[in-house]
Structure 1
């Protein structure tokens, strides 16, 4: 009986970890026969867990939506990660999630084993979050809807407003969500434009129903975080520049976030910055505020504009002299 109960818990954990399993896959994971899997699935159903099954070669088992939330089965590292994540969730720019995070954290910590409670408690006791107030709040329901569409490989329809205020309607094949310091972004294949696009999640208004399901495409880059960083720091702007910074890469990385530009090490004392701005005036201010010596690699127009700004500053100084 104990062996059967442990196997049922393991089966429930597997069904929670992935959207769908074939009977053969579950049998291999549990080390039992397909017939035993079917019996165990029936036992879970008797206990009130809605396990759906579809017949045929392409069929399988999935944990359906029921009237109540089934218990989540987490390993040690997953439990610690969830507890730490909940603690910092209030400052991540998702509307209305702060209070819910506190309630969920209280429930989780109540049932954590002592060894895990000590790990979480030690981290919390010495950690003070310093989070910037997000410029735009994101509805948690929207974020969940986007995540589900990515997970289930379902086409997504939504209204969108870009950074210039232009409104459009999009139909995309969602791939991944990427979280920056203060914002969430959706990386998706835009069916109308036949290209990969990055969308700010707080500007998305979903327009269900979604679907049908699609076969995921090869992503635009292996490192999606860098891909999104390049998009929001460089590709989004018409004015772009390559700047050689006379400071070590590690020091520059402390000054410049991925949302402000992409860094590339050159040698021990220099690195390259690829960045963008709305115009040359903003670009000059952007570079000067870094507080390090630099050389303009490109474009030539930026070098000329810096000379113009230098002359303007010199005249302002001269006028103040007696």
Structure 2
């Protein structure tokens, strides 16, 4: 057992013992060496301030009067939980291009202290946990903090938004609903007060953000899910139809294990290919993802979506025509 489990077991044995417990008995119960027993006793007594009395000759026990007032610290982690926290620490430190590092620095310091306390001075090989952000966009940390505050404080938010497709700048007043982290980028799902509709905004395109005094309008969770997660992609909207995509037998080994959408339907065909069906509204993102598979993917239906992909491929091919 690891140190956490030994300390828990040691506390249990000393608390239940009616007479001093010998080191030999603790060795058997904890499955460790004599030296480890002494180290754990010292840690329990000196670091955790447990009322341990006795010595190695007569045995150890708790002072009965003090034992009733002593409890182990509230947050202890098993070795598996500690390792998971270690991985989460690296994700926090390295994801989003470091954008959250200063905003969450106090939490980061607490995590590091907890890891140090439970590692007993052991050095953890942090370089063995790799986090590789993919296509993350640059974002203003100050804007992110204001947006996050609006979401959590349930206050309306005003900001300038520059649409990526048209580069047009508009002033928006919204009731924030959710923060969404999608493909290494952050989005704000909100009720647009002027347009009276749900919209998703890429936070890296938000500027001049300002908290308002007005309380945010709360949209029902079911309505949020139906609109924002009903179709494929981040700017989902209500589904307009279902797309059927067939992947080659080679690509099927990957696609069959991927989750493209919560309502997707997939099946292997007799020849080893894989057929995927999923709802979509705005085809832009779906087309880009299908294009990543090149000749290993084919949109079967609807015909309009198939023709859109054909047009994309023809335009791309035109870039490689000889002069």
- The bucket for the TM-score relative to the shorter chain is 0.5 to 0.7
Match of 1:131 in 2: 133
Give the drift of 1:85.
3.9
Alignment size in residue pairs: 233
Measure the CA separation in 1 of the matches of 2:199 and 2:83: 34
DSSP-derived class of the 1:221 partner: helix
Match of 2:148 in 1: 147
Match of 2:67 in 1: none
Measure the CA separation in 2 of the matches of 1:151 and 1:289: 39
DSSP-derived class of the 1:230 partner: coil
Match of 2:91 in 1: 88
Match of 1:270 in 2: 275
Match of 1:173 in 2: 175
Measure the CA separation in 2 of the matches of 1:187 and 1:152: 15
Q: How does 1:11-90 map to 2 (within 5 A)?
A: 75=75, 84-90=87-93
Q: How does 1:270-309 map to 2 (within 5 A)?
A: 270-273=275-278, 283=287, 286-287=290-291, 289-300=293-304, 302-303=306-307, 306=310
Give the drift of 1:216.
1.8
8 Å CA contact 2:244–2:275 kept in 1: the answer is: no
Measure the CA separation in 1 of the matches of 2:308 and 2:204: 38
| 84 and 297 in structure 1: CA distance in 2 versus 1, 3 angstrom threshold | same
| 212 and 221 in structure 1: CA distance in 2 versus 1, 3 angstrom threshold | closer
Q: TM-score, normalised by structure 1?
A: 0.54
Match of 2:207 in 1: 205
Query: What do residues 74-113 of structure 1 show as CA deviations (whole Å, max 9, x unaligned)?
Result: 9557998776444223543356544776786455323446
| 270 and 119 in structure 1: CA distance in 2 versus 1, 3 angstrom threshold | farther
Match of 1:243 in 2: 244
Q: TM-score, normalised by structure 2?
A: 0.54
Measure the CA separation in 1 of the matches of 2:127 and 2:99: 25
Deviates more, 1:85-94 or 1:212-221: 85-94
Structure 1 unaligned regions, length at least 5: 1-72
Query: What do residues 180-222 of structure 1 show as CA deviations (whole Å, max 9, x unaligned)?
Result: 1221000111111111110001111244241212452213334
Give the drift of 1:274.
5.1
Structure 2 unaligned regions, length at least 5: 1-72, 269-273
Structure of larger gyration radius:
2
Measure the CA separation in 2 of the matches of 1:289 and 1:249: 11
| 80 and 154 in structure 1: CA distance in 2 versus 1, 3 angstrom threshold | farther
Give the drift of 1:139.
1.9
Measure the CA separation in 2 of the matches of 1:304 and 1:188: 30
Measure the CA separation in 1 of the matches of 2:194 and 2:123: 47
Measure the CA separation in 2 of the matches of 1:262 and 1:204: 29
| 244 and 100 in structure 1: CA distance in 2 versus 1, 3 angstrom threshold | closer
Query: What do residues 130-182 of structure 1 show as CA deviations (whole Å, max 9, x unaligned)?
Result: 22252x21122221211111111111111111112111111111011000122
For residue 110 of structure 1, the aligned residue among 108, 113, 131 is: 113
